Amino acid sequence: MARGLHPSGYEEVIVRNADNLSKVDPKTQAIRIAHTVGMKNRAEISVRAEERHIHILNPLPKEKPAEKEETAEEAEEAVVEETAKEGEKAAEAEAKTEAESESIEKGSEERKSGEESKD
């Protein structure tokens, strides 16, 4: 490994627009698209870099529209499942609270009847 090189072995060159690609040597250099570059210019840089067989160190994520729809449906299903689980937990907690209050009432009644029999 040499200093100044990316771990992939290429020299890293920051690109801010598509015209900067003309100065890049695809054999020894790879590009990193500056973080200030917008999506339109980033897409244009990516297309031109692929044409020239230039390696991109921070490429655009490749997502399919169908995956986004599935993700939205999955998220909706997860919310429905979560709501059902929370409802079950609430019902269990309510039943537990009722059982505890009943046992407390029974205990206080037993104490009262025990105190009356002592008198």
Band (65; pLDDT cuts 50, 70, 90): low
Top-confidence residue, 83 or 25: 25
Q: How far is CA 77 from CA 33, 74, 105, in A?
A: 37, 5, 42
Q: How many CB atoms lie within 10 A of CB 12?
A: 13
| pLDDT (mean) for 96-119 | 66
Nearest C-alpha neighbor of 53 from the set 13, 20, 25: 25
Band (87; pLDDT cuts 50, 70, 90): confident
Bridge partners (DSSP) of residue 56 are: 31
Question: Is 69's pLDDT higher than 60?
Answer: no
Residues whose CB is less than 8 angstroms from the CB of residue 32 and which lie 6 or more positions away in sequence, other chains included: 12, 13, 14, 15, 56, 57, 58
Tabulate helix, strand, coil % of the chain (nearest 5). Answer: 60, 10, 30
- For position 66, what pLDDT does the model report? 57
Q: Is the pTM of this model over 0.85?
A: no
Q: What is the pLDDT of residues 21-54, one digit of tens each?
A: 999 999 999 999 999 999 999 999 999 999 999 9
Nearest C-alpha neighbor of 32 from the set 23, 19, 45, 48: 45
Question: Is 73's pLDDT higher than 80?
Answer: no
